């Protein structure tokens, strides 16, 4: 088997060494355009998991690396002169040049042909003359470009400039330091990689970089300026450069990683921001998976498919965490006024991979200090601290998110609604929300949607709220009011979500006459007189919500329903006072809010649900969402329930764990308005982490509460908490401990070994 490796970085070299070791008959050639010791950057960080894979696959390489590693446990975070240290993290690093030397030696000892200062032949030519072509040619991969139509790469350049530098001494921890300069915020990421050397990365927003004059500075001048900014961290020592240049990070995603016998590896296939780890780590793990695939499958095509199948979900998860981390640093200015200890916790948990639970295991003292600063009583997890909205005090920070049941008769909620909402109230959540309750028959999504446009409906809701207030004394119950707009007159979800009714349709109205998707009914553009009527319908529904006994009212301005349709430029093409500018698009939703607030009791809170992005080009942006939140808060909204999307059918959401929470985070920290975070928050550890970091005030969960109506009480039991934030109903107290199970403990050895 003839193997060509394009690129002599760590990923390409390690792949070559592994493949040669596993099958010495393979003829492997590595082409590297630069000299053997010609490298960028300074130190490389590898995780224990990656090192374990290396140890298993090639003990010789592992032994050489282990002899070189610098290890440390602490992370120091310095902000406004205050340093907080969190321990127990475990890092290992070595110099990039030394890593390359180890891999060069290993490749030579195995018989790999290393060709330095030699550009590789064209990828198409190599594919014709070799059995396998490994493209490890980096973020600017020529191979990827040569087969662009097949790999279909997506490249995104981000908002910060950064530069790799070094210090001639070893930092005693992984250090993050924040400098607030006259031009803006500058951050340092630093870590030791040798007994007498540290990597130092300096990063700042593009506009700060330009304002500070770095665009006009050369390599050494930039290093000198950075050393001056961080003189305290460096002890007055200089910073060293090595072909160091200011650049902006580029995220690389490819739809495919292989084409015929050509396969992408490392940065050519994917990149992940340096703030969550090393690209070298990902490349080495790619090499391990590729070698395994080729060992387990004689057919090259099957081997490459197995490699991609194994690595793609792992890389996608890493890239989601990396995006969260890089965006946190891009928006660092939002958090500067947080208390120093909370700021440190926020930084440590920025990627959502490190959580409150992780940090408690790693450094219990640090985490306990953060909890005290948050206001947790002794022994109380953050999620079980109370929260006040206007005259309503919630027992804990858990919200049962609105979930449509599509089970009402003529808009009247029935026994299923009683059981659904009652069970989740008994399950311990601080606030239980109804589904979207429609303000008129023509404002329904489906024939099965509940309403508040008749007194009979209000009476039925009163039956449910009375049960919650008497059966689950610690729970509050809220109603979400909305109008379907262009997304109405459809089948219930399990018969075809968003599919038009086969018969019995009713006419639709919307901000503009644009159907939701091909085949959907085209709505009428709502007239000025109809706007007046709809405002009245919302106010009447709110009046009935008072009679229905609700503690909180939420106005639904998200997910492409009527009010959301006014907010988004993709669905509002009006040319009157209700269309065009952001202020005009806000006009009708604010008028409705004011009409509802006028009849809703002053002591009861009102919230607004927003789609903070449309996940579509030309739609609502995060900047818009901040302005929407400011406007509603100025009109009296007590909190913003921050969701995303479902506004246009051709959206492209970036799904992932807690994927919507950055939008809530930004609104909270940029406007000071309390927020409810939603979106794939699945564990109580996530809830605690988001709260402690100051990214949200409440967390709303939907599917976890369908899986387990007692999710909140079980979260309390699993954390050993039995306080006022999670009281078990008297009839259920016997179930507050997990049931006993059979013991399967093996015998414990006690006797000494025989002679």
- CA nearest neighbour of 295 among 143, 442, 132: 132
Tokens linked to 241: 């450069």
3-state SS, residue 700:
strand
Residue 341: what are its φ and ψ, rounded to 5°? -70, -40
- Any bridge partners for residue 28, and if so which? 3
Distance in angstroms (rounded) separating the CA atoms of residues 549 and 425: 15
Q: Which residue carries 């002890």 as its tokens?
A: 235
Q: Which residue carries 């709809």 as its tokens?
A: 534
Rg (CA), the chain: 29
- CA nearest neighbour of 563 among 616, 497, 486: 486
**Secondary structure of 102-164 as H, E, C letters:** HHHHHHHHHCCEEEECCCCCCHHHHHHHCCEEEECCCCCCHHHHHCHHHHCEEEEEEEEEEEE
- CA nearest neighbour of 232 among 78, 425, 125: 78
Tokens linked to 68: 């070189």
Distance in angstroms (rounded) separating the CA atoms of residues 497 and 483: 17
- Termini Cα distance of the chain: 53
Burial of 270 (0-12, 13-18, 19+ CB in 10 A): buried
Distance in angstroms (rounded) separating the CA atoms of residues 35 and 44: 19
Integer angstrom CA distances of residue 255 from 134, 249, 264, 299, 381 = 17, 20, 11, 22, 42
Which positions are annotated as active-site residues?
Answer: 561
- CA nearest neighbour of 75 among 91, 67, 62, 87: 87
* Contact present, 466 and 548 (Cβ < 8 Å): no
Residues 6+ apart with CB under 8 A from 725: 380, 383, 384, 385, 386, 395, 396, 430, 716
């Amino acid at each position: 088997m003839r193997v060509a490796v394009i690129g002599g970085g760590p990923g390409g070299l390690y792949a070559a060494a592994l493949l040669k070791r596993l099958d010495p008959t393979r003829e492997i050639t590595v082409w590297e355009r630069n000299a053997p010791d010609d490298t960028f950057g300074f130190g490389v960080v590898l995780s224990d998991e990656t090192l374990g894979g290396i140890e298993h696959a090639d003990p010789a390489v592992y032994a050489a690396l282990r002899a070189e590693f610098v290890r440390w446990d602490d992370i120091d975070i310095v902000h406004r002169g205050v340093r907080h240290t969190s321990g127990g993290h475990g890092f290992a690093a070595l110099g990039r040049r030394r890593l390359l030397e180890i891999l060069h030696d290993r490749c030579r000892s195995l018989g790999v042909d290393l060709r330095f200062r030699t550009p590789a032949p064209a990828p198409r030519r190599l594919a014709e003359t070799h059995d396998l072509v490994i493209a490890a040619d980096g973020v600017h991969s020529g191979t990827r470009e040569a087969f662009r139509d097949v790999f279909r790469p997506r490249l995104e350049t981000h908002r910060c400039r950064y530069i790799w530098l070094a210090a001639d001494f070893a930092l005693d921890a992984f250090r993050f330091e924040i400098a607030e300069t006259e031009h803006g915020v500058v951050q340092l990421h630093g870590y030791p990689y040798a007994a007498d050397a540290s990597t130092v990365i300096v990063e700042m927003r593009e506009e700060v970089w330009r304002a500070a004059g770095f665009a006009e500075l050369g390599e050494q001048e930039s290093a000198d300026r950075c050393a001056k900014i961080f003189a305290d961290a460096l002890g007055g020592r200089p910073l060293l450069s090595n072909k160091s240049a200011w650049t902006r990070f580029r995220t690389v995603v490819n739809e495919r990683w292989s084409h015929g016998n050509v396969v992408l590896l490392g940065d050519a296939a994917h990149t992940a921001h340096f703030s969550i780890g090393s690209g070298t780590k990902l490349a080495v793990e790619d090499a391990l998976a590729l070698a395994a695939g080729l060992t387990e499958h004689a057919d090259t095509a099957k081997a490459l498919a197995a490699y991609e199948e194994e690595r793609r979900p792992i890389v996608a998860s890493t890239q989601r965490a990396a995006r969260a981390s890089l965006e946190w640093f891009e928006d660092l200015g939002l958090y500067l006024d947080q208390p120093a200890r909370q700021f440190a916790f926020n930084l440590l948990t920025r990627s959502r991979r490190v959580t409150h639970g992780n940090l408690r295991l790693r450094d219990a003292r640090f985490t306990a200090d953060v909890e005290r600063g948050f206001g947790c009583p002794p022994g109380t997890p953050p999620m079980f601290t109370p929260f006040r909205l206007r005259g309503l005090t919630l027992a804990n920070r858990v919200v049962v998110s609105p979930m449509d049941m599509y089970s009402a008769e003529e808009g009247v909620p029935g026994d299923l609604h009683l059981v659904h909402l009652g069970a989740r109230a008994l399950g311990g959540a601080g606030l239980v929300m109804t589904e979207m309750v429609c303000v008129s028959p023509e404002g329904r999504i489906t024939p099965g949607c509940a309403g508040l446009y008749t007194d009979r409906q209000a009476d039925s809701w009163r039956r449910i709220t009375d049960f919650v207030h008497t059966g689950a004394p610690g729970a509050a119950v809220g109603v979400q009011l909305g109008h379907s707009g262009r997304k109405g007159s459809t089948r219930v979800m399990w018969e075809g979500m968003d599919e038009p009714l086969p018969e019995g349709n009713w006419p639709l109205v919307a901000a503009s006459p644009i159907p939701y998707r091909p085949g959907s009914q085209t709505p009428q553009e709502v007239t000025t007189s109809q706007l007046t009527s709809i405002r009245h319908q919302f106010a009447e529904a709110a009046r009935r919500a008072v009679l229905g006994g609700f503690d909180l009212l939420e106005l639904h301005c998200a997910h492409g329903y009527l009010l959301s349709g006014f907010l988004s430029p993709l669905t509002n093409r009006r040319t009157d006072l209700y269309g065009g500018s952001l202020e005009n698009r806000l006009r009708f939703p604010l008028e409705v809010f004011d009409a509802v607030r006028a009849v809703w009791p002053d002591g009861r809170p009102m919230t607004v649900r927003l789609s903070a992005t449309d996940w579509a080009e030309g739609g609502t942006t995060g900047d818009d969402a901040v302005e929407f939140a400011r406007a509603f808060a100025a009109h009296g909204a007590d909190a913003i329930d921050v969701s995303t999307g479902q506004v246009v059918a051709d959206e492209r959401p970036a799904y992932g764990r807690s994927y919507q929470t950055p939008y809530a985070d930004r609104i909270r920290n940029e406007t000071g308005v309390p927020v409810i975070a939603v979106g794939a928050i699945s564990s109580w550890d996530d809830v605690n982490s988001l709260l402690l970091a100051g990214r949200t005030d409440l967390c709303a969960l939907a599917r976890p509460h369908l899986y387990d109506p007692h999710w909140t009480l079980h979260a309390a039991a699993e954390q050993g908490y039995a306080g006022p934030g999670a009281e078990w109903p008297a009839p259920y107290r016997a179930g507050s401990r997990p049931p006993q199970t059979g013991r399967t403990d093996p015998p414990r050895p006690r006797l000494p070994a025989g002679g």
